[in-house]
């Protein structure tokens, strides 16, 4: 299942928030195409988080299948951890060719009750961390003359209907909207430098976090898509000609259809 001569042969990919769900699936799919994958999250061992999944398990699955992966514990609200993540990746495998900003921390609280501490934490993890991690990998990408940055967004970035009652997702939507505008702006800045920058939303995927927040119900359960579809779409957005594939605000199902993709079974 690991193809050492795949479309990501010899490339180094950093995937944040890869202990479970979408991040874990992306890491596994990239490894299957020959990438050396560095995965990060706060959850290293079982019991570190109330949700199942750890970066230790993600790495073990990849390495046991014949791939190459490294786990780096990182709290992306910490500047020291952000810098250490990129430094560890470079020391282990060399320069970072692909950065996937997937990590998120989310609180669903109405604006009137939202605490400043949690607001700043969400902005740090979902907006500032992708911004600074991009700053940290750009020098190496520019030196090598290539690279990809992929940011993971959400349909929450889309303006809601005025008539629909909210569930306290305003701050989450703000973070994702900011991430999308950052993506298109950075893509414009890097257009002539062979570095592609894209953002993609997964649609509705039954990840542990989605299930915990009870975001799937009778009204939307028919729209649930497999996590493998998101992983396949995220693979397509990090190879090819960056000048022809950059500055995109995409959705997993649209990417699957546009490029006639079939989702691979994950290792």
Residue 199 DSSP class = E
Report pLDDT digits (tens) over 87-117: 999 999 999 999 999 999 999 999 999 999 9
Q: What pLDDT sits at residue 135? A: 98
The confidence score (pLDDT) of residue 209 equals: 54
Spatial distance between the Cα atoms of 199 and 180, rounded to a whole number of angstroms: 6
**Cross-strand bridge partners of residue 244:** none
The candidate with the shortest Cα–Cα distance to 62, out of 89, 43, 34, 85, is: 34
Say how many CA atoms lie within 13 Å of 118 toward its Cβ. Answer: 15
Hey, is 198 helix, strand or coil?
strand
What's the pLDDT score for residue 164?
Answer: 65
- Residue 212, pLDDT above cutoff 50: no
Note the pTM of the prediction, 2 decimals.
0.91
Residue 172 annotated to the active site: yes
Q: Name which residue leads in pLDDT, 57 or 215.
A: 57
Contact 53, 21 (CB under 8 A): yes
Candidate list 30, 50, 172, 251, residue with the active-site label? 172
CA distance 221 to 46: 29
pLDDT tens digit sequence for 222-252: 566 889 999 999 999 999 999 999 999 999 9
Give the list of residues 6+ apart from residue 191 with CB closer than 8 angstroms, or none.
Answer: 243, 246, 247
Q: What digits encode the pLDDT tens for the residues 180-199?
A: 999 999 999 999 999 999 99
Could you tell me the domains of the chain?
Answer: 12-106+124-168+178-258 (3.40.50.720)
Residue 212 and residue 155: Cα distance in Å, rounded?
18
């Amino acid at each position: 299942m690991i193809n050492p001569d795949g479309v990501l042969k010899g490339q180094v990919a950093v995937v944040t928030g890869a202990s479970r769900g979408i991040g874990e699936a992306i890491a596994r799919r990239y490894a299957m195409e020959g990438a050396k994958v560095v995965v990060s999250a706060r959850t290293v061992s079982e019991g570190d988080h109330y949700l199942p999944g750890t970066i230790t398990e993600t790495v073990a699955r990849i390495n046991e299948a014949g791939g190459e992966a490294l786990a780096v514990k990182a709290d992306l609200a910490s500047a020291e951890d952000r810098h250490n993540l990129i430094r560890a990746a470079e020391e282990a495998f060399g320069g970072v060719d692909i950065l996937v900003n997937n990590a998120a921390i989310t609180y669903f609280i109405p604006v009137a009750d939202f605490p400043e501490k949690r607001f700043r934490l969400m902005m740090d993890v979902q907006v500032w961390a992708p911004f600074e991690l991009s700053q940290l990998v750009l020098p190496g990408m520019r030196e090598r003359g290539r690279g990809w940055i992929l940011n993971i967004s959400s349909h929450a970035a889309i303006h809601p209907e005025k008539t629909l009652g909210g569930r306290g997702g305003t701050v989450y939507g703000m973070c994702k909207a900011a991430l999308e505008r950052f993506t298109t702006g950075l893509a414009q800045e890097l257009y002539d430098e062979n570095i592609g920058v894209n953002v993609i939303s997964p649609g509705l995927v039954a990840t542990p976090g989605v299930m915990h927040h009870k975001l799937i119900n009778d009204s939307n359960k028919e729209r649930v898509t497999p996590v493998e579809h998101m992983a396949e779409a995220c693979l397509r957005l990090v190879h090819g000609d960056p000048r022809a594939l950059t500055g995109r605000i995409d959705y997993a199902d649209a990417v699957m259809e546009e490029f006639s993709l079939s989702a691979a079974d994950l290792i």
